[in-house]
Amino acid sequence: MTEQDTNKKKERFAVDTNHLAEVRTSLARSRTYMATERTFAAWIRTGFAISGVGVTLGTALKDTQSRWIPWTIATSLVSVGIFAFIYAWYQYKSIYDFITTHFRQQNLPAQSYSFNYYALTTVTVILVLSSLLGFFLMFY
């Protein structure tokens, strides 16, 4: 094997290695986005459960002698549920911004996850509004 053949193999290996590194980086970014979406879903599930318990207890205890007890329980639980929705969105937005900024700085090929970002923002706003609506319909 000549020195020229050895140099060609090294060049080809370097090109293949760079391409594989870009592919692995792209796959890692996709995995990170999917993990972030799973975490978002878990926080939304938790917020639903907490808000649901608040509305249920508020409705079940509405006929008690003291009106403040069910109102306090429902208000606190629905507020914690709404906080979980907002926290889920904030965490998703933080990671989304970090990843997109990082990949722009590295001049790596862009993948568009902006639809997911806008969809999750819309879902979060709808959940907060529906929780507030459920709370107000329970007492008024």
On whether residue 25 sits in a domain, the answer given is: no
d(CA 42, CA 12): 45
On whether residue 60 sits in a domain, the answer given is: yes
On whether residue 16 sits in a domain, the answer given is: no
d(CA 28, CA 23): 9
Say how many domains are in the chain: 1
On whether residue 2 sits in a domain, the answer given is: no
The H or E element spanning position 109 is: none
The tens digit of pLDDT for each residue in 7-63 reads 665 566 555 677 777 777 777 777 888 898 899 999 999 999 999 999 898 888 888
Write down the pLDDT at residue 5.
63
Write down the pLDDT at residue 110.
57
In which domain, by residue range, is 124 found?
37-139
On whether residue 46 sits in a domain, the answer given is: yes
On whether residue 22 sits in a domain, the answer given is: no
Whole-prediction pTM: 0.72
On whether residue 10 sits in a domain, the answer given is: no
Tokens at 77, concatenated: 């639980």
Q: What is the mean pLDDT of residues 80-84?
A: 95
On whether residue 53 sits in a domain, the answer given is: yes
CA-wise closest residue to 33 among 45, 41, 21: 41
